[in-house]
Amino acid sequence: QQNVQQSPESLIVPEGARTSLNCTFSDSASQYFWWYRQHSGKAPKALMSIFSNGEKEEGRFTIHLNKASLHFSLHIRDSQPSDSALYLCAVGNMGYKLTFGTGTSLLVDP
């Protein structure tokens, strides 16, 4: 059974800071790696995904994936108050099931 862990549990950063969120997984056969963002009282919404080792950048957001170390991360450049949310990582392999982590709660202090 896939085990997905996130760190830290919560984080407070000043506006404009670079933020790093971490996710580890247990199944080395995992193929799909997602970050979802959930604002308070709202539905989770996909932020970014990566399917092969390396780095992917979209605007202020960058994903790093290292399958050998069973780790991927999300980096936010120039953090904004609107980035304050619960960030959920998710991992999938064959089939359509995703296993979600328990989340990192991010607060960006203006």
Partner 1 sequence: DMKVTQMPRYLIKRMGENVLLECGQDMSHETMYWYRQDPGLGLQLIYISYDVDSNSEGDIPKGYRVSRKKREHFSLILDSAKTNQTSVYFCASSLLQGEQYFGPGTRLTVL
Applying CB under 8 A, the residues found at the interface with partner 1 are: 1, 31-32, 34, 42-46, 49, 88, 92, 96-103
Closest CA to 89 of 79, 103, 71: 103
Residue 50 Cβ vs partner 1, minimum distance, rounded to whole Å: 13
Give whichever of 7 and 31 is closer to partner 1, judged by the CB atom: 31
Q: Which residues contact 95 (CB under 8 A, 6 or more apart)?
A: none
CA distances from 94 to 6, 29, 31, 46, 81 (A): 22, 9, 7, 19, 37
Q: Which is nearer to partner 1, 65 or 88 (CB)?
A: 88
Q: How far is the CB of 33 from partner 1 (least distance, A)?
A: 11
Minimum distance from residue 25 beta carbon to partner 1 (Å): 13
Least Å distance, CB 6 to partner 1, is 8
CB nearer to partner 1: pick between 25 and 34: 34
CB nearer to partner 1: give 53 or 102: 102
CA angle 95, 100, 104 (to 5 degrees): 155
Tell me the C-alpha to C-alpha distance, in Å, between residue 93 and each of 7, 19, 36, 67, 85.
22, 27, 17, 13, 26
